[in-house]
């Protein structure tokens, strides 16, 4: 959902690559409406690639055709999107290498004035 927003960094600026990540799992209530809605918004391949990096291996490489009504798939998507939290880590722009820090579960997307 995030992209690099350094001035002039307009192409190939997501997904931000997660590095040095500490994860925490936290159970959350399944919201199928949200997951179906997200199917239209996600860059699915990017999500799978990110998950693999984090050792979350249960998402299939491509979206199943019946994704919106595939309970098993939605459960996995739910787990990846809502139950897996990055507590600490870095997000690095694939284009300009700018690094955004995540601390205490909070991404900091602020830029220095000259970067905006």
Summarize as ranges the residues that interact with Zn ion (CB under 5 A).
4, 6, 9, 13, 93, 95-96, 98
| Residue 111 in the binding site for other proteins (CB under 8 A) | yes
Query: Residues touching other proteins: how many (CB under 8 A)?
Result: 27
| Residue 32 in the binding site for other proteins (CB under 8 A) | yes
Q: Which does 11 bind (CB under 5 to 8 A by kind): Zn ion, other proteins, none?
A: none
Instruction: For the CB of residue 98, give the shortest distance to Zn ion in the complex, in Å.
Output: 5
CA separation, residue 87 to residues 18, 43, 103 (Å): 12, 22, 6
Copy the structure tokens of residue 18: 């997660």
Query: From the CB of residue 23, how many other CB atoms can be counted at a distance below 10 Å?
Result: 15
Looking at 49-57, 59-67, 69-77, 104-112, which segment touches other proteins (CB under 8 A)?
A: 104-112
Residue 31 falls in which region: left (phi positive, over 0), alpha (psi -120 to 50) or beta: beta
Q: Are strands 84-92 and 17-25 parallel, antiparallel or unpaired?
A: antiparallel
Instruction: For the CB of residue 39, give the shortest distance to Zn ion in the complex, in Å.
Output: 27
């Amino acid at each position: 959902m995030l992209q690099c927003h350094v001035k002039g960094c307009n192409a190939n600026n997501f997904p931000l690559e997660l590095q040095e990540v500490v994860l925490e799992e936290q159970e959350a209530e399944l919201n199928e409406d949200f997951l179906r809605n997200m199917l239209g918004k996600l860059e699915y391949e990017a999500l799978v690639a990110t998950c693999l990096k984090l050792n979350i291996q249960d998402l299939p490489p491509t979206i199943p055709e019946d994704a919106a009504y595939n309970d098993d798939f939605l459960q996995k998507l739910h787990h990846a999107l809502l139950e897996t939290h990055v507590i600490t880590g870095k997000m690095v722009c694939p284009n300009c290498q700018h690094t955004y820090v995540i601390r205490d579960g909070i991404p900091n997307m602020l830029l220095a004035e000259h970067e905006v």
